[in-house]
Amino acid sequence: MALFSALYDRVMRWSRHRHAPRYLAGLSFAESSFFPIPPDVMLAPMALAKPSTAWRLAALTTVASVVGGIFGYLIGMFAFDVIEPLLRDAGYYPKYLQAKAWFDDWGFWAIFLAGFSPIPYKVFTVTAGVIAMAIVPFTLASLFGRGARFFLVASLMAWGGERMERRLRQYIDRIGWVMVVLMFLVVFVAKL
């Protein structure tokens, strides 16, 4: 069943759209403060579709993400009472408490790690505002952590380029179905 190849073709078409960089910047900004989908899902296919623009796209993603992180910081600093119930409802409250504990232990490095890893960065940006972390170290840690992540993703896609795009297209249905099976296995094992 060719479900994933049709999705792959659509994503690659979207990644070549003339407004795609604007959408990437908007997604990057939003993900850093309140939106759940990481910008990598747009950055990777865009860098793969146009390898010559990969580093420019990584820079755009980094800057928009850091600005969004500062917005998250401001939310934490000035509006935490408003968003606390939303954190609880969305299931992010335990992550918020964990982020707060990490700040106590590691400060700057907690933001750097959250910026680079798949840990929800938005939880750390809001938490940094709640605890009133100094804005300069916050911004620098965000810039280095997010930049390292996005430049790595873009570089890997550009390095693979057209050859990788063809290979992915060839195997995307198999990869997609394997991922679906793995997801079901993880859910099944987690429920045991």
Tens-place pLDDT, residues 62-105? 999 999 999 999 999 999 898 889 888 888 888 888 888 888 88
- Tell me the DSSP string of 80-146: HHHHHHHHHHTT-HHHHHHHHHHHHHHTHHHHHHHHHSSS-HHHHHHHHHHTT--HHHHHHHHHHHH
Tens-place pLDDT, residues 33-73? 888 888 888 898 889 888 999 999 999 999 999 999 999 99
Which residue is listed with tokens 């300069």? 136
pLDDT at residue 44, rounded to an integer: 87
The structure's pTM equals 0.78
96 touches 126 (CB < 8 A): yes
pLDDT at residue 113, rounded to an integer: 87
Q: Using the Cα atoms of residue 151, residue 152, residue 154 and residue 156 in order, give the sign of their dihedral.
A: positive
Percent of the chain at pLDDT exceeding 90 = 34
pLDDT at residue 181, rounded to an integer: 83
